Amino acid sequence: MRILVTGAAAGLAAGVALALARDGHDLTITHRPGGTDPSGTLALIAAAGAAARAEPVEFLGDEGTVGAALERVVRVGGPFDALVHAVGPMTVKRFERCTLSDYHDMLDGNLRSAVQAAAAVLPAMRASGFGRIVFFGMNGSETSQPARGLSLHAAAKSALVSFARTLALEEGRRGITVNVVEPGDIRQKSLTREAARNQTAGNPRGRPGTWEDVADAVRFFVNGDHDFVNGSVLRVTGGATEAYERNATAP
21-67: per-residue pLDDT in tens?
Answer: 999 999 999 999 999 999 999 999 999 999 899 999 999 999 999 99
Q: How many domains does the chain have?
A: 1
Which of 95, 4, 16 has the alpha carbon at shortest distance from 52?
4
Question: Is 226 part of a structural domain of the chain?
Answer: yes
Burial pattern 103-120, b for ≥16 Cβ within 10 A else e, equals bebbbbbbbbbbbbbbeb
Q: What is the CATH number of the domain that holds 234?
A: 3.40.50.720
pLDDT exceeds cutoff 60 at 249: no
pLDDT exceeds cutoff 90 at 179: yes
Which of 203, 211, 212 has the alpha carbon at shortest distance from 243?
203
Question: Is 251 part of a structural domain of the chain?
Answer: no
Question: Is 75 part of a structural domain of the chain?
Answer: yes
Structural domain of 120: 2-243
Calpha distance 102→90 (Å, rounded) = 9
Question: Is 206 part of a structural domain of the chain?
Answer: yes
Predicted local confidence at residue 251, as pLDDT: 64
Question: Is 250 part of a structural domain of the chain?
Answer: no
Question: Is 101 part of a structural domain of the chain?
Answer: yes
Predicted local confidence at residue 245, as pLDDT: 56
Predicted local confidence at residue 204, as pLDDT: 86
* Burial (CB count <10 Å: 0-12, 13-18, 19+), residue 81: buried
Q: Does residue 98 contact residue 142 with C-beta atoms inside 8 Å?
A: no
Question: Is 249 part of a structural domain of the chain?
Answer: no
Predicted local confidence at residue 70, as pLDDT: 98
pTM (two decimals): 0.94
pLDDT exceeds cutoff 60 at 247: no
pLDDT tens digits, 83-109: 999 999 999 999 999 999 999 999 999
Q: Does residue 207 contact residue 199 with C-beta atoms inside 8 Å?
A: yes
- Predicted confidence band at 185 (pLDDT cuts at 50, 70, 90)? confident
Distances (CA, A) of 80 to 113, 128, 185: 17, 10, 30
- Predicted confidence band at 202 (pLDDT cuts at 50, 70, 90)? confident
Question: Is 228 part of a structural domain of the chain?
Answer: yes
Could you give the percent of the chain with pLDDT greater than 90?
79
DSSP per-residue string spanning 100-165: HHHHHHHHIIIIIHHHHHHHHHHHHHHHHT-EEEEEE--TTGGGT---TT-HHHHHHHHHHHHHHH
